[in-house]
Structure 1
């Protein structure tokens, strides 16, 4: 699989895409399926910690990652199947506020990520070259299915780095 080209996505996600090393994004995603839950499971004692007032806790960060992956995967599915209607955006802070992640355990969020990601991998691995190159519109911006895969992987890398830098 080739890396997405700049005309395959909006510059807003270029930072995420740039974090993914190499071209084999499916291997990166597969490895994240194991590594991220293990990472979260080692943070149980800090689950409710936020590094500053008004910032998300580790549980909220994990919930945001799960929500975002679901949304990006929905977009990926729609575009891969040829959907021509523009897909909506979402306001991440509003989603976190409405989700009551603070009422959950980090262990449950870790397990939810793992199960959701494992299910998504079946979809991701089923995509052929034609589907990977399909274009659609989400949040008012044109993008390809391939760019969405790289965004999914890069989004997790980005937030894992933030947790390491600011929470630990």
Structure 2
């Protein structure tokens, strides 16, 4: 399935900015290409920039990579709930609290990339195991409707968004 098969009732309009960034790839291709592109991108960032924040209170590239890992986990868990249970209603998460408590900048970039790979590979395995019909299942997350397949596209587009931000403001 491709993002253009999503209907407006499958996600909060807020997430449209991320979903639109995916292009015409299938969900599985977007997850796999995103993994490879993101690994290559973070491996290319100079060490001097990995703990750099362009303004006070902004996250570093290491913080952003761990944020991508967290979002991958959160949205894949949402998808899992929606395909395995009826009427799942999940709370939101505070990405700033997650980042504050992540200690990303105490870790090496190699360690963060290894965690990213493991999480993304698990996300790919999850989505590979779900039939197209079940991917249409809708639950609630943060008070809004969300389908399992929209959650997957949000993971992909969110990742593209943040790599673009790093390219524009950090490098």
Scaled to the shorter chain, the TM-score interval is over 0.9
After TM superposition, give the deviation of residue 70 of structure 1 in Å: 0.4
Which residue of structure 1 aligns with residue 28 of structure 2? 26
Which residue of structure 1 aligns with residue 119 of structure 2? 116
Contact 2:72-2:123 at 8 Å conserved across structures: no
Q: C-alpha separation between the residues in 1 aligned to 2:56 and 2:117? A: 29
Q: What secondary structure sits across from 2:87 in the alignment?
A: coil
Q: C-alpha separation between the residues in 1 aligned to 2:41 and 2:110? A: 11
Task: Confirm or deny that 1:127 pairs with 2:134.
Answer: no
Task: Confirm or deny that 1:159 pairs with 2:158.
Answer: no
Q: C-alpha separation between the residues in 1 aligned to 2:129 and 2:122? A: 12
Contact 2:81-2:88 at 8 Å conserved across structures: no
After TM superposition, give the deviation of residue 85 of structure 1 in Å: 3.3
Q: C-alpha separation between the residues in 1 aligned to 2:110 and 2:42? A: 8
Count the aligned residue pairs: 168
Uncovered stretches (5+) of structure 1, i.e. residues with no partner:
none
The 10-residue stretch of structure 1 (158-167 or 44-53) with the greater mean CA deviation from structure 2: 44-53
Contact 2:83-2:137 at 8 Å conserved across structures: yes
Q: Which runs of 4+ in 1 moved over 6 A?
A: none
Q: What secondary structure sits across from 1:99 in the alignment?
A: coil
Which residue of structure 2 aligns with residue 40 of structure 1? 42
Q: C-alpha separation between the residues in 1 aligned to 2:61 and 2:112? A: 10
After TM superposition, give the deviation of residue 47 of structure 1 in Å: 0.9
After TM superposition, give the deviation of residue 121 of structure 1 in Å: 0.8
After TM superposition, give the deviation of residue 24 of structure 1 in Å: 1.0
**CA-atom RMSD in angstroms:** 1.2
Task: Confirm or deny that 1:143 pairs with 2:146.
Answer: yes
TM-score, normalising length: structure 1: 0.95
